[in-house]
Homo-oligomer: A and B are copies of this chain.
Amino acid sequence: MSVGLNGRADWIAVDWGTSRLRAWAMSEAGAVLGEAVSELGMGKLARGEFEPTLLTLIAPWLDRPAVPVLACGMVGARQGWREVPYVPVPTQPRALQPHAVTGTAASIRLAILPGLSQEKPADVMRGEETQIAGFLVAQPDFDGVICLPGTHSKWVRVSAGEVVSFQTFMSGELFSLLSQSSVLQHSIAQQGRDEAAFSEAVAETLSRPERVAHALFGIRADAVLNNLDPVTARSRLSGLLIGAELAASRPYWLGQDVAVIGAEDLTETYAAALSSQGLAPSQHDGSAIARLGLAAVYATLSETAS
């Protein structure tokens, strides 16, 4: 999918995650001139396939040599196009220095942003740091916690423009594995939401997180014995996992100003869970905010260069 180009691209912003590649034709001032999306995320590509994949997607915008391309996300992982070392926290996401990638086609001048690492407890992120940079453009004085749900959800403490610490949870991947590949697959609808079942499950594991492993099989037993509705089962699974995540991340969000950044269905889900705990989280579109982050870093580079 490619949305047409309204004018010459001064540079190209690229958000390349595990499951998706998204590119924008940008003006120097940070306006969006065009957008292109591909499902060819890092997880589906071998090392040699990154360059042709990107060049094909952004071909309409390459009207001269060495068009600047600034990319973030798993494209910089060990299994990505070029490994870019992590920057340890605490650090300012808006001041991250992209690494120039040499040896590419002459039509682009590629740079990849680093991810962040934390020494203890050991943790890593790639891509979310750029979303946080984008968030800080609009709220530079934000002091609180940013929650970025996804395959691996992140909880991030932000203060004075810095990422102070963060914590990653596998709830999203667990949900996929359990709903698609475990004994629960026969009991769970592919979509649909039962708000009451979701809230009840969140409350259950938030107060008694140790119950998760048993409550999971309870979905199967309830389906076998009581014909549990598959949509209810889906919401219950989601709620059990998110409740357990909230129990573990409580030191992060309790009494804090919380912003949730991600895909709309996920931010809705997490915001609902947090609201049930008396919080009033703000919600932000992950894709748009990643683009803002790339533009913020690009602007810093241009200032430095000039």
Contact = CB atoms under 8 A, between A and B. Distances in A.
Given A178-B177, A224-B78, A170 B123 contact: no
A247 to B, nearest CB: 4
B183 A214 contact: no
Contacts of A178: 170, 177
Contact of A214 (B168, B210, B214, B225): B168
A208 to B, nearest CB: 8
Nearest to A168: B217
Contacts of A86: 225
Given A169-B213, A170-B182, A122 B244 contact: no
A225 B122 contact: yes
Given A122-B225, A218-B122, A221-B124, A173 B183 contact: yes
A121 interface: yes
A30 B144 CA distance: 69
Interface in A203-218: 209-214, 216-218
A222 B210 CA distance: 24
A226 interface: yes
A190 interface: no
A181 to B, nearest CB: 6
Contacts of A222: 122
B123 A168 contact: no
Interface of A is mostly: helix
A241 interface: yes
A152 interface: yes
A15 interface: no
Interface in A102-144: 117-119, 121-124
Contacts of A123: 217-218, 221
Contacts of A209: 209-210, 212
B177 A221 contact: no
Nearest to A217: B168
A171 interface: yes
B117 A217 contact: no
B214 A248 contact: yes
Contacts of A248: 210-214
Nearest to A118: B221
A238 interface: no
A181 B174 CA distance: 10
12 contacts: A118-B221, A122-B218, A122-B225, A122-B226, A123-B217, A123-B218, A168-B214, A177-B178, A209-B209, A211-B248, A212-B244, A213-B244
For the complex of A and B, 8 pairs with smallest distance between CB atoms: A209-B210, A122-B221, A210-B247, A168-B217, A210-B248, A177-B177, A169-B213, A122-B222
